[in-house]
């Protein structure tokens, strides 16, 4: 969806460099990162469902509340006196979705005990930031977008290695058990 939104923004704003960003999103975030994380899950041998700190129904309710907050915050950025056309109205709801992605990703990082699901929360948070940047600015310079993608790829690989080492050393990925190691 993120690649499709970037492609739509590129089409409506006639910005060919955003097509490159959409292609990078598709290759890096939709193909490379899932394969990398799936291999990590197989290597760590995760077999059971990962339990959150807050139960699932309450987590869904909190996520809905965060989405509502995102729409309220995004509404304050909307300027109704501007002329309405397809290109200018494209970012109106996109900003609210981006803010809600950011907030839900942050909530996921706080709500989960396992390091791997915290990495997934971080990736969700980053997707929200990218969506906000591309919907508000209608595209960053291509070199900045390429730099961000490689940063995300390297960060995911480093976090994957870190998760593997945590599992190997402590025989658990529960980060609450790591808090006992403080000096």
Instruction: Give the count of domains, the chain.
Output: 1
> Worst-scoring range by mean pLDDT, 72-76, 86-90, 166-170?
86-90
CA–CA–CA angle 74, 30, 71 (5° rounding): 10
Domain hosting residue 164, numbered range: 2-47+54-181
Residue 86 pLDDT greater than 60, yes or no:
no
In tens, the pLDDT along 23-70 reads: 888 888 888 888 887 887 787 776 665 677 888 899 999 999 999 999
In tens, the pLDDT along 93-130 reads: 888 899 999 999 999 988 887 777 777 888 888 888 88
Q: How many CB atoms lie within 10 A of CB 164?
A: 16
Distances (CA, A) of 24 to 4, 42, 155: 12, 26, 16
Give the closest residue to 39 by CA, choosing from 161, 167, 169.
Answer: 161
Are 3 and 32 in contact by the 8 Å Cβ rule? The answer is no
Are 120 and 108 in contact by the 8 Å Cβ rule? The answer is yes
- pTM reported for the whole predicted model: 0.74
């Amino acid at each position: 969806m993120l690649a499709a939104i970037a492609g739509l923004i590129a089409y409506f704003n006639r910005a060919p460099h955003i097509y490159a960003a959409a292609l990078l999103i598709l290759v890096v975030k939709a193909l490379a990162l899932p394969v990398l994380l799936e291999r990590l899950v197989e290597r760590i041998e995760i077999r059971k469902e990962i339990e959150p700190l807050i139960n699932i129904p309450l987590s869904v309710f909190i996520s809905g509340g965060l989405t509502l907050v995102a729409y309220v915050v995004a509404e304050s950025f909307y300027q109704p006196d501007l002329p309405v056309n397809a290109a200018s109205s494209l970012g109106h709801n996109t900003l609210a979705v981006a803010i809600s992605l950011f907030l839900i990703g942050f909530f996921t990082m706080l709500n989960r005990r396992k390091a791997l699901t915290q990495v997934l929360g971080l990736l969700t948070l980053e997707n929200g930031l990218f969506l906000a940047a591309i919907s508000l600015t209608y595209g960053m310079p291509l070199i900045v977008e390429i730099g961000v993608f490689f940063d995300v790829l390297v960060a995911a690989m480093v976090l994957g290695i870190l998760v593997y080492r945590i599992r190997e050393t402590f025989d658990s990925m529960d980060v609450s058990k790591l808090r006992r190691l403080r000096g």
